[in-house]
Amino acid sequence: MQQTSGLTSVHMQVMWNRLISVVEEQALTLLRTAFSTSVREAGDLSAGVFDQDGKMMAQAVTGTPGHVNAMAVAVGNFIEDIGKENIFEGDSYITNDPWKGTGHLHDFTFVNPSFRNGRLVGYFASTAHVVDVGGRGFGPDANEIYEEGIYIPIMKFAERGEVDMRLIHIIRHNVREADQVIGDLYSLASCNDTGHRRLMDMMDEFNLDDLCDLRDFIFSNSLRATLEQLENLPSGSYRNEMTVDGYDAPVTMKVRLDVSSKQVLADFEGTSGLSKKGINVPLVYTTAYACYALKCTLAPTIPNNHASLQPFKVIAPVNCILNAVHPAPVAIRHVLGQFLPDVVFGALHKMLPDTVPAEGSSSLWNVQLGTTPVEGAIPSAGGGSQKTQLLMFNSGGTGARPTLDGLSATAFPSGVHTMSSEVIEQIGPITVWRKELREGSGGAGTRRGGLGQVIEISANPGHRIYINAMFDRCENPARGRDGGLAGAPGSVSLDDGSPMQSKGRQWIPDGKHLVLKLPGGGGYGDPKNRDRELVEQDVRRGYITEQEAREDY
């Protein structure tokens, strides 16, 4: 018999808020115990609680939209593949299947069932990006999924509390950074357990036998509130397209939004076909970022869960670059995937002018470095010979907003943090010589686009480094909106000015530095209408030069 019958909506709201705090503690546990810098320093993770059918009830604020919204679909895949009859108390399930998880092999998703008094009441799930999964390493060079690393289908990491050590040994012997990766897997399983224990405390406090009434309250109110927002929209179809660099040829992404009072459908028909390299995107990741753009524009104040996402639908032709199916290479699916909010915003702007920002750099400029000792060389003082994999997240500028300038060196839409240079230098034998805002990179406008960065890196004495480049907006910069100018394109070069490719593995010549110039965001509105005091302030702060002020404003 349910104990929540007759509880007021105020009591339900209190429990809903408490449930969100439960999953937030789950996410913070992962942050504190993870081994990889991408998790503990950058927050590249997600955490959530789900009902008995695998529908997301609440997510942690900590985490990325790509992980959270993809994981919202993934838990149902776990239940189907494991089978309800094989789900036991103390279990923990694992996968990095790109099509049943969150889009590429570097993301491991864990699901733990939550039992109360011997009865299943729900699930906890978490996802994190690990530093290495073997294969070619984190980069776009593979021709099919089999080259990209070890592929773990949905299976049991632990049964009734006993970890499958055979699986641990297989993974350990197929990755370059075994201690980090195995440590992260245990962190994922343990953070789900933390969520379970905090949920039991909550259910004790509120005298709950299960979550059914609370789930129904969350879902009914979330769906109703979201539909109320859609009712006020002008129905119709709205289109946009955007071209980005791609790997060896430009990629065009097209979207049509069909808007009604009951649903918003994003259809990516007309988008470019598959690439031969690993920039392809599984539909689960396309859905995650397209829905994020729709929800944060149309229903931003409603908590993210199964019901609040339900009115947003995404479709794309099979084996277009945004609906890649097995065995397409998908290692850096984030590059195109993180452009999708800009693609969707372009269509939303035609429906709701003066609402969404101009285009930004959008896609993270992830620096994945491999270091190796030079045979016979004497390493720098205090630093032994190291062969390591390093991952460093960096961001360009966001697009200007209708009433505000863009944000500089800020990760949108991913929301991850950058890692500090000092932390990166402690992990591997490199030196970060520069990390500074890039003057003049923000697109001019009534509101200026956010600035990119300049980053300069070299190997320490006795070592060589290579980069798995995965950068975009070098040929197709972020466009301005309503008369705003484009942001500066990005560039990849050596410190002597020699150009390097924006995608693919390349060695940095001995004695040379890698120089990355990250793109800026587009401007919003006619630059001639910018407040003179703001232009002068930008010059004083070094955001633009005096010449740019004269020419652009």
- What is the distance between the alpha carbons of residues 453 and 435, in angstroms, rounded to a whole number? 7
Calculated CA dihedral for residues 452, 36, 191, 14, nearest 10 degrees: -10
- What is the distance between the alpha carbons of residues 250 and 272, in angstroms, rounded to a whole number? 9
Rounded mean pLDDT, 128-141? 95
Q: What does the pLDDT read at residue 380?
A: 54
Rounded mean pLDDT, 176-200? 96
Cα 330 to Cα 99, 133, 206, distances in angstroms = 10, 13, 45
Predicted confidence (pLDDT) per residue in 213-263, tens digit? 999 999 999 999 999 999 999 999 999 999 999 999 999 999 999 999 999
Predicted confidence (pLDDT) per residue in 101-126, tens digit? 999 999 999 999 999 999 999 999 99
Report the half-sphere exposure of 2 (CA within 13 A, side-chain side): 12
What pTM value is reported for the model?
0.94
The angle that helices 178-206 and 165-172 make with each other, rounded to 10 degrees, is 140
Q: Which of 335, 341, 338 is nearest to 471 (CA)?
A: 335
In the chain, where the domains are located? 9-223, 357-553
pLDDT above 90 for 205: yes
- What is the distance between the alpha carbons of residues 479 and 519, in angstroms, rounded to a whole number? 11
- What is the distance between the alpha carbons of residues 474 and 510, in angstroms, rounded to a whole number? 25
How sure is the predictor about 387, in pLDDT bands with cuts at 50, 70 and 90?
A: confident
Beta strands 388-392 and 251-259 are unpaired
Check: CB of residue 378 under 8 Å from CB of residue 462.
Answer: yes
User: Which residues, in sequence order, are CB contacts of 320 under 8 Å at separation 6+?
Assistant: 268, 269, 271, 272, 273, 274
- Write out the two tokens for 147: 């080259």
